[in-house]
Chain A
Amino acid sequence: MKIHEYQAKDILAHYGVPIQPGRVAYTPDEAEAIARELGGPVVIKAQVYVGGRGKAGGIQFGDTPEQARAAASKVLGMDIKGLTVEKVLVVSKINIQEEYYLGIILDRKSQAPIVMVSKEGGIDIEEVAAKTPEKIIKQPIDMRWGLRPFEARDILARARLPHQVIGKGGSILTALARAFIESDASLAEINPLVLTSEGQVQAADAKILIDDNGLFRQKEYASWAESEESNPLEYEARQEGLTYVKLDGNVGIIGNGAGLVMTTLDMVARVGGKPANFLDIGGGAKAEVMYKALSFVARDPQVKGILVNIFGGITRGEEVAKGVIMAQAELPEGMPIVVRLSGTGAEEGKALLKDAGLDWGKDMREAAQKIVAAVG
């Protein structure tokens, strides 16, 4: 799950990471009031779930509360990569002397979180990673201990951060690791970590992703979930407990099991169609789940036909057929549906489909060909 910069900073501040004072504003009025409260020049930062805000003009400066207001009205409502800016973070401006990168990601190979530190932080960290990977020091966290302060200082020293940053930076990196582990994060970054002209070390920007599997015990963070305007269907699907990914095409796709659904998408593309979505109903789904899934997929206005591909094990064919028949009555008139059933209850399911006048394919390939032909 994605969270905003201000939320990531709230988490880090809780673990003792120094951040600039500031708050979130939803209107230019609020931005002006916060700037007045803070006193001095401020930075106005768009809070949206995408990177590259700065380059898109989503970060502005204001030396006075009035300028802060003007900057906020420019950023609020701005479109950044398809997302409308609905809130901005207003923080005191700092005098940046140097920028470093601190990051922790989950590493499949070492089966542990891995710490990454670079002396060259800031917006071009991807370029540093691609061109000069030796400038990024990496070390897996031993999960028996977590990241110990001496290890954190050691990593910073090996990354050649200046002496004056090693102590404070070590505490910050230790705190980042604790935040990562205790928040069920899959990624936590401070980029940049800045050294100010006054010699302070602060997190000037932060990014955290929360592992969806950990949300059941991270109730506060789970409550932060919000719709991405570019993708309201995916947000709603999550609320309904469906595993749904929106794609660009016009053939709606529903199946059971992630690997089978992915293979069905590939098959539709292979026979010349364009998948509109990925939807996995999981194992053991009853008619109601199938009904909900079909109704959901049909809400995407791009969808011109739907393919249902089920390999029955603990999912039963007749339950699938019943759900499809229930949903069909409510779908737009003439919306083609092709069902492919095999395994448990397939024959019973096919009989029900036949009575309802619904089409089916004998295997995944034939079903894909039929639906692609039907949507034209």
Chain B
Amino acid sequence: MSILLDSSTRVIVQGITGREGLYHTRNMKTAGTNIVGGVTPGKGGTTAEGVPVFDTVAEAKAATDAEASCIFVPPAGAADAIMEAASASISLIVCITEGIPVIDMTRAMIVVREHGARLIGPNCPGMCTPGHGKIGIIPYQIFKPGPVGFISRSGTLTYEVVALLTEAGIGQSTCIGIGGDPIIGSTFADYLELFESDPDTKAVVMCGEIGGSDEEDAAEFIKTMSKPVVAFISGRTAPPGKRMGHAGAIISGNTGTAQGKVAALQAANVPVADTIFEIPDLVKKALSAL
């Protein structure tokens, strides 16, 4: 087993009939994901990519007993889609949408917490378990099954580093992009905890970036872990006060700097790669020391 997703997990797609929704539903099915239905208000009763479409998540849940949902709804309606999924007792919600107003997320998170759901994202590439399937837009072909858990705040950087690992013969257990927004459903520490108790994960790679204090919180948790973690922090050259693409990637005053994050991780005995090219060797070293 890996964490959160395997080939039996029943997944629905919210916004399945949109261009992105259709394209990525096809890719997810190709990757082996067990897509059991989709939701687009007004398109209930039709089918898309071979699965039934429902008007509401509640109907989809009743008909398919879905456990997870992947959201491709545009920004104006995405927080509502998250709340709809949580209210319908979907336990794993992956929101790909970029550009959700932050105020909407503050309301959505109340509902997510009340229902005890797990939200990945928003503004994230999703997740995958190599050999089982994926939820989201991650290019599945660059992965290979193996012992390394992978967490990151970014999409293409994840692909870049995963490709390096795969090239070096290091496979992955589960990969999660937690998202680049200031308010996200779950943090590095949440997944470190899951990887720590997953028997198939032997080591974890964490790719953080400037902004917020998720990496510092993760460093605190890592002190309690038995499994090795290798880290990389991007944005070392970013100036303070500038938003570097991701809404959450901004240094405010003295908080959120790359230097602060590197120092916190090193204090937790985490090797921090200077460039991504050192990550595979650091992982090999960590694995061989086990």
Count how many pairs of residues, one from A and one from B, have CB atoms less than 8 Å apart in the complex.
147
Contact A269 B236 (CB under 8 A): yes
Residue of B75, B213, B238 touching A213 (CB-CB under 8 A): B75
Contact A111 B247 (CB under 8 A): no
Cα A217 to Cα B102 with chains together (Å): 13
Contact B245 A280 (CB under 8 A): yes
* Residues of B146-161 whose CB lies within 8 A of A: 152-160
Shortest A344–chain B CB gap in Å is 8
Task: Tell me the count of chain A residues lying within 8 A, CB to CB, of chain B.
Answer: 48
Residues of A close to B159: CB separation below 8 A: 311, 313, 343
Cα A243 to Cα B123 with chains together (Å): 15
* Residues of B219-239 whose CB lies within 8 A of A: 234-239
Residue of A258, A278, A314 touching B180 (CB-CB under 8 A): A258
Shortest A49–chain B CB gap in Å is 11
Does chain A have a CB within 8 A of B100?
A: yes
Cα A259 to Cα B161 with chains together (Å): 11
Contact B103 A181 (CB under 8 A): yes
Does chain A have a CB within 8 A of B165?
A: no
Given contacts A311-B156, A342-B163, contact A259 B101 (CB under 8 A): no
Residues of A close to B101: CB separation below 8 A: 184, 211, 213-214, 217
Does chain B have a CB within 8 A of A255?
A: yes
**Cβ proximity bits A209-243 to B, threshold 8 Å, 1 near / 0 not:** 00111101100000000000000000000000001
Interface-forming stretch among A260-268, A296-304, A319-327, A352-360?
Answer: A260-268
Does chain A have a CB within 8 A of B139?
A: yes
Residues of A close to B157: CB separation below 8 A: 257, 259-260, 262-263
Contact B249 A262 (CB under 8 A): yes
Contact A265 B238 (CB under 8 A): yes
Contact A213 B154 (CB under 8 A): no
Shortest B181–chain A CB gap in Å is 8
Pick the most buried of A106, A184, A263, A267: most chain B CB atoms within 10 A of its CB: A263
Given contacts A108-B212, A270-B275, contact A143 B237 (CB under 8 A): no
* Residues of B52-105 whose CB lies within 8 A of A: 75-76, 99-103, 105
Contact B153 A259 (CB under 8 A): yes
Contact A262 B245 (CB under 8 A): yes
Given contacts A217-B101, A259-B209, A343-B159, contact A275 B244 (CB under 8 A): no
Main secondary structure of the interface of A (DSSP, over half): mixed
**Cβ proximity bits A30-69 to B, threshold 8 Å, 1 near / 0 not:** 0000000000000000000000000000000000000000
**Cβ proximity bits B178-192 to A, threshold 8 Å, 1 near / 0 not:** 001011000000000
Residues of B close to A267: CB separation below 8 A: 275
* Residues of B96-123 whose CB lies within 8 A of A: 99-103, 105-107, 109-110
**Cβ proximity bits B132-156 to A, threshold 8 Å, 1 near / 0 not:** 0000011100100000000011111
Residues of B close to A108: CB separation below 8 A: 182-183, 212-213, 248
Does chain B have a CB within 8 A of A335?
A: no
Does chain A have a CB within 8 A of B11?
A: no
Given contacts A265-B238, A314-B137, contact A213 B247 (CB under 8 A): yes
Residues of B close to A186: CB separation below 8 A: 102
Shortest A230–chain B CB gap in Å is 13
Residue of B212, B234, B239 touching A263 (CB-CB under 8 A): B234
Residues of B close to A363: CB separation below 8 A: 277
Does chain A have a CB within 8 A of B10?
A: no
Contact B183 A111 (CB under 8 A): yes
Shortest B229–chain A CB gap in Å is 18
Closest residue of chain B to A257 (Cβ to Cβ) is: B156
Contact B237 A265 (CB under 8 A): yes
Does chain B have a CB within 8 A of A364?
A: yes
Does chain B have a CB within 8 A of A171?
A: no
Residues of B close to A112: CB separation below 8 A: 106, 109
Residues of A close to B248: CB separation below 8 A: 108
Cα A52 to Cα B270 with chains together (Å): 40
Cα A143 to Cα B109 with chains together (Å): 10
Does chain A have a CB within 8 A of B285?
A: no
Shortest B96–chain A CB gap in Å is 10
Cα A311 to Cα B159 with chains together (Å): 8
Does chain A have a CB within 8 A of B286?
A: no
Does chain B have a CB within 8 A of A113?
A: yes
Does chain B have a CB within 8 A of A250?
A: no
Cα A113 to Cα B102 with chains together (Å): 10
Residue of A113, A270, A275, A313 touching B274 (CB-CB under 8 A): A270
Shortest A140–chain B CB gap in Å is 9
Cα A211 to Cα B212 with chains together (Å): 16
Shortest B275–chain A CB gap in Å is 6
Chain B interfacial positions (CB closer than 8 Å to A): 75-76, 99-103, 105-107, 109-110, 137-139, 142, 152-160, 163, 180, 182-183, 207, 209-210, 212-213, 234-239, 242-249, 274-277
* A-B interface, 7 closest residue pairs, ranked by CB to CB distance from nearest: A259-B154, A258-B245, A257-B156, A259-B157, A260-B156, A214-B101, A258-B246
List 11 extra interface pairs beyond A184-B103, A259-B157, A261-B245, CB under 8 A: A109-B213, A111-B183, A112-B106, A213-B247, A257-B155, A258-B244, A259-B158, A262-B238, A263-B157, A269-B236, A364-B276
- 24 A-B interface contacts by CB (under 8 A): A108-B182, A108-B183, A211-B101, A212-B247, A213-B101, A217-B101, A247-B237, A247-B239, A257-B154, A258-B154, A259-B234, A259-B245, A262-B209, A263-B160, A266-B235, A266-B237, A269-B236, A283-B155, A311-B156, A313-B137, A343-B159, A364-B160, A365-B275, A365-B277
